[in-house]
Amino acid sequence: MKKAFLLFSIITTSLFLTSCEGDPGPPGPQGEPGINILGQVFEVTIDFQYNPDTGLQDALVNIPTDIEVFESDAILVYRLEKVVNGPAGGADAWSPLPQNFFLGNGDIIQYIYNHTFFDVEFLIDGNFDLATLGSDFTNDQTFRIAVVPSEFANSNLTMSQLLDGLQLDPSEITTLEN
């Protein structure tokens, strides 16, 4: 009898819960139509060349013409560090630039870069004669270049507008004195 009552209770409860549907509510307010802006990424494998004029190892990469870059966009660069085993096979491990390497005997190199909206210049700087730098650091180096869409902030903001926007009271701001 107890089993029959339990079964009856479960069936009644499930019928009650599944029948608790009502009319849909009124539609919510419609927002402004948005746009979907994604950054773009491309990868390059390069060989650095020693530049006797600067004493640095360098390489210049043009941004592909199918990638639109504006003066205000941010460009981030990552160096392929290694390939690691993951659940679905190999996965690339990327390190952001700048990246330092301590080679021993106090020798240090650093991968750095600069960019315009049409190219990226890769550089290896160091504290020794980089003409002697081994090919392990200069040849077949793979980089991932990410173009992050950005726009310049409104340069017409006054300090009071900035403080109002940040909800700060000017009396709460202290300055550092030398």
pLDDT of res. 169: 74
Bridge partners of 94? Answer: 80
Query: Mean pLDDT over residues 150-163, rounded?
Result: 69
Residue with tokens 């549907």: 21
pLDDT band at 168 (very low <50, low <70, confident <90, very high): confident
3-state secondary structure the chain: CHHHHHHHHHHHHHHHHHCCCCCCCCCCCCCCCCCCCCCEEEEEEECCEEECCCCEEEEEEECCCCCCCCCCCEEEEEEEEEEEEECCEEEEEEEECCEEEEEECCEEEEEEEEECCCEEEEEEEECCCHHHCCHHHHCCEEEEEEEECCCCCCCCCCHHHHHHHCCCCHHHCCCCCC
Q: What is the pTM of this model?
A: 0.66
pLDDT of res. 24: 77
pLDDT of res. 11: 59
- Residue 9 to residue 49: CA distance in whole angstroms: 80
Query: Mean pLDDT over residues 134-144, rounded?
Result: 96
pLDDT band at 141 (very low <50, low <70, confident <90, very high): very high
Let me know if residue 67 belongs to a domain: yes
pLDDT of res. 54: 95
pLDDT cut 90: percent of the chain above it: 52
Q: Which residue has the higher pLDDT, 69 or 18?
A: 69
Let me know if residue 122 belongs to a domain: yes
Question: pLDDT tens digits, residue range 111-138?
Answer: 999 999 999 999 999 999 999 999 999 9
Let me know if residue 61 belongs to a domain: yes
Q: Are 108 and 102 in contact (CB under 8 A)?
A: yes
Let me know if residue 68 belongs to a domain: yes
Residue 109 predicted with pLDDT over 90 = yes
Residue 93 predicted with pLDDT over 60 = yes
Stretch among 48-57, 148-157, 166-175 having the lowest mean pLDDT: 166-175
Let me know if residue 161 belongs to a domain: no
Let me know if residue 81 belongs to a domain: yes
Let me know if residue 178 belongs to a domain: no
Residue 15 predicted with pLDDT over 80 = no
Q: Are 63 and 120 in contact (CB under 8 A)?
A: yes
Query: Mean pLDDT over residues 95-106, rounded?
Result: 94
* Closest C-alpha among 111, 109, 113 to residue 132: 109
Host domain of residue 109: 40-148
Query: Mean pLDDT over residues 143-162, rounded?
Result: 78
Domains in the chain: how many in total? 1
Write the Ramachandran bin of 137: left for phi over 0, alpha for psi from -120 to 50, otherwise beta.
Answer: alpha
Let me know if residue 71 belongs to a domain: yes
CA dihedral 55, 57, 58, 59 (to 10 degrees): 150
Amino acid letter, residue 48: F
C-beta atoms surrounding 158 within 10 Å: 8
